[in-house]
Amino acid sequence: MQLSPAPSSMPLPGIGPQTALFLDFDGTLVDIAPQPEAVQVPADLVPLLRQLERRLKGALAVVSGRQLADLDGFLGPLQLTTAAEHGAHQRWPGGKLLRLASPDLRELIRQTTALAESHPGLHVEIKPASLALHYRQAPELEALCRQFMAEAADHTSGVELLHGKSVFEVKPAGISKGSAIEAFMRESPFAGRLPLFAGDDTTDEAGFSAVQGLGGQGIKVGEGATLARYRCATPKALRQWLRAACDENTTGSIRP
C-alpha cells in the first residue's frame, strides 16, 4: 500500500461504545522530548485514560515502542492493556503478561554501547527484547547510526531494524504494532468493535494498516506521509479529542 498525505481538515472520527481504541505513547499522547526519560506527562492524562478505559469497558490499549516498565512509570498508577516494544511484550486485560520473543542482544548491546562511548550525543536505550540507538542530540550522526545498526541487525538473529524519530531500533522480527492490534482485536473486550489507532511515527504505519484492514481508522498525529486516513496536528489536539469523547454530550467528533 502506498503512503500518502492524510487529509488534515476532516473532523476526527467519533469514539463511541463500539470503539476499540489503540494509542501510541511518544509523540501521540505526550510531546517528543530531547531524551527518552525527559518526557512530560500532562497532569490530566492519567485521569483521562482511566475515564476512557471505563467508558470503553476496557477496550483501550497503549501500543508503543517503549518497554512496559517505562510506560507503567509514566502512566502509573494506571496499568493499561499494553503492547510494549512494538508488540513483543504484551499485557492483556486482566493483567496476563505475554513475551513473544527474547532475541539475544548481548553482542548488539556491547557494540552500540562502545559506539555511544566514542560519540557524545548518542544514547543507547536497552530494553528487554529490543534496543534503540538515539541520535536526537547528534543529528549529524544519522548516516553513521543507520549504517552501524543495519550491519548490526544483519548479524543479530531474529531481529529487524526500524527507523523512528531520531532513532534506529532493533526489535524482534515479524512482530509489529499491527500484529499486536490484530491479536487484541481477536479477543474480548476488543473483538467485534471498530478499531481506531492514533500514532505519530513511521513505526505506527503497521498499526494504521492493521486497523484500516479491520474496517477501522488510523489517525496520524503531526506531519508526514502516512497510510492513516485522518490527521491530528499535535498530541495536545489528540488529548482534546479524547477529552471530548469523555464528555457525555459529544461523540468526540471534533476538528483536529
Ligand X SMILES: O=P(O)(O)OC[C@H]1O[C@H](O[C@H]2O[C@H](CO)[C@@H](O)[C@H](O)[C@H]2O)[C@H](O)[C@@H](O)[C@@H]1O
The site for ligand X (CB under 6 A) is made up of 24-27, 32-36, 39, 64-66, 125, 132, 134, 136, 164-167, 169, 201, 203
Taking CB atoms, the residue at the shortest distance from ligand X is 65
Minimum CB distance to ligand X, residue 67 (Å): 7
Query: Which C-beta is closer to ligand X: that of 42 or that of 192?
Result: 42
Looking at 24, 70, 72, 204, which residue is catalytic?
Answer: 24
Query: Which C-beta is closer to ligand X: that of 10 or that of 109?
Result: 109
Query: Which C-beta is closer to ligand X: that of 64 or that of 156?
Result: 64
Distance CA 202, CA 212 (A): 16
b/e sequence 94-119, b meaning 16+ C-beta within 10 Å: eeeeeebbebebeebeebbeebbeee
Distance CA 106, CA 82 (A): 26
* 104 is known as an active-site residue: no
In one-letter notation, the amino acid at residue 74 is F
β-sheet bridge partners, residue 84: 89
Minimum CB distance to ligand X, residue 220 (Å): 12
Minimum CB distance to ligand X, residue 163 (Å): 10
> Nearest Cα to 140, choosing from 126, 161, 124, 119?
119
Minimum CB distance to ligand X, residue 35 (Å): 5
Q: Catalytic residue numbers?
A: 24
